[in-house]
Structure 1
Amino acid sequence: MNRSDRSLMDLPLEIHLSLLEHVPNELRAVNRYFYVLHNHSYREKSLAWISEDNDIWALIKGSLCLYIKSLDSLRQYARQIIKDTIEPGPDVPLCLTKYIADSWYIVYNALQYPGKIINNEWDKLSQNQDTSLVDTNNSFSNRPKERILMQSLTALPVDFWSRRKDEPTPVNVWFYVKNAHVARYIQKIITEIGICNYGPRQIVASAGYINELITSEGIYCINLGHLPRLYDEQIFEGTGTTHLPLELKTIDRTDSDVCINGDLVLLGYDFIPYQISKPWLLFRVENKSGIDTIFNYSECSFSYEFAWSLACLQSEERIEFPKDTISRHGSLYKPSKLIRNFVYKHPEQKQDLGQETALPNWNTPYLRR
């Protein structure tokens, strides 16, 4: 330990905690002491928000542990800095439970932000010959036939917008585009978003000329704007409600088979601000196999099951969703380096590919303070 480290360690605990509030990621990397203290501080934040006797923990404990366990390929040695944990079980206290007691920073982030949503059938679409359509044509409407491509859930904190009023949250949709000429259909794939069994839905959409920016095969992440404010938070004050089930529905209005024959495949959604300094429209990833490194099935499963449980608890209406729709969860997550090619809203802005190459993996969990 050098002199500066000793000087830092000589400061009182209150100063250490204050420093962690300002530079948490930098300080927790200094030594084991600060790593443990950082973990403890997020335990306090998490339990101050959702007390240990809250029923939510019983609902999410199993799938949350599986999600955090799936990250061991990235952080097992760091997680094991926290000692004296016990294998997960229904009677094991949270503060002793392996994958929770040693990972409060990830727990806090998993509860504070909506998780990724994967289209669980993405790899079956080219073989799926179910072309059943909901015919909306009648004498009062000329709308094309519709097909629901995906309908799924993720959990959203009740106070989400009041906490993030100065930091809008993007809604991003992921597609695999086999042939550039089918990109023109993307504008006819509609995303409806709302709270399950509560209030109206809103539509989020990409720029109207997005198809002109897609010129080759690849995986594309397309920005659909910001997550709209869906309810008045004051309605839930004093109710003890901490989260709501956020529902996304993807509707195919292309009146074609491009979304079921493998030419244009919906992969899923996320809510990650991939670049804050430059407004972007889309980015492209070359490798088709990259889907398994972009979406962590265990994360998607945790988020879905959490939201599903909330929907069942909070609604007297019948829940149409099955409890578990995410297959292949529970395995280790192994993200690999993928290079993104951005297209920005302002054409004069260009991507620094050297910086992109030098950056660490962007497809690991996005953790905020």
Structure 2
Amino acid sequence: MRRSQNQKADDSKMTDASHLVLRGIRKTYGDECVLNGVSLDVREGEYVVILGPSGCGKSTLLQIIAGLVRADSGSVELSSRSLDRTSPNDRDVSILFQDDRLYPHWTLRQSLQVACDRSPVKAKVDGLLDQIAERLGIGLQLDRRPDEVSGGQLRRAALAKALLRQPAVCLLDEPLTAIDTMLREELVSLLADYPRSRGDSLSRTSIVHVTHDGDEAMRLADRIVVMGQGRVLQSDAPELVYRKPKTLGVAKALGTPPANFLPLRWVQATVPGQAESIVNAVSCKGDDSVLVVRPESAQWLTAELERATPGAALEFEAQIVSSRYVGGRYVIQVSPLADGGTRLTLFSHGEIAATGEPGLVRIPFSELACVPAQENAPEASESR
């Protein structure tokens, strides 16, 4: 669940001036380069999700923004003011760590009250502590110490502490880990609807959220920044990152089940009559390119079904290898008749016959994306 259309309309009226600006951030530990020249602009009130696998530098980047780690080179600015010589306590920033950090000898309420007391929006925090605690499902645990609550409850209390601070920038490092599935849905809703306004004289809160979960990123982000090997691979609206990935690494970061990948050379060898049309339609650059096919983009057609959805499409005969019913639809694996070693995952809302059933895979050109075979080529432009 992302923000409402009215909220997005309000955002469009705001200035496009950057709120948080990172330029050329580089960090190494020994011989390992964790961040390799990362540049990123975050607008005021924007919800940015940094997505990537473990070890790609996501958490280190948050710690540099918070002032807990010093970059080897590069700069950090907030509201046009350099933070390079500003201590963590003097930055208008809150952070939720992966490991929950609450005072062990204080009750949860006492720890959360500290965040309220440090908030620059004191006039607006009355009653907010209890309100957010109830929304997070920890209202009955506020008078307990950290060692008297479960891991999930402690995680929610740490999230509440970061939100109650009402900072200019709220940094969230894997905020939904160790959370039960049912409550996770409530927390996604809370984060999506979390009010960013802090008063006329203060900037609106921007959120920078780190995760390795692509579905979480799609549901929350105004913009997704995909990282790999210490670099920004793509920075775009969720729809563009999903439908128009710029690299193979970006395409792999999103989607459940994951996307199918068809090398252009495979298409040229298996369905040679269609390869030239595909290259012209999706602007493939070089024979080493790879076609990205999302499971919902491909149609499974049997002899009894009409070939609806007219238009140019990649088509080849295949047979069903396996099928399972998941979330109101069938998830099927098919194998092209011309290459039994290749597997593609597709969706079907109709009932699927037994394994071995022949049919036709049809993928509209408009649903294809083409990326270089290189896994993690960095984005050429600055990440806004």
Q: How does the TM-score come out when normalised to structure 2?
A: 0.23
Which structure: greater strand fraction?
Answer: 2
Q: How does the TM-score come out when normalised to structure 1?
A: 0.24
Which structure: greater helix fraction?
Answer: 1
Q: Which has the higher contact order (CA 8 A, sep 6+)?
A: 1
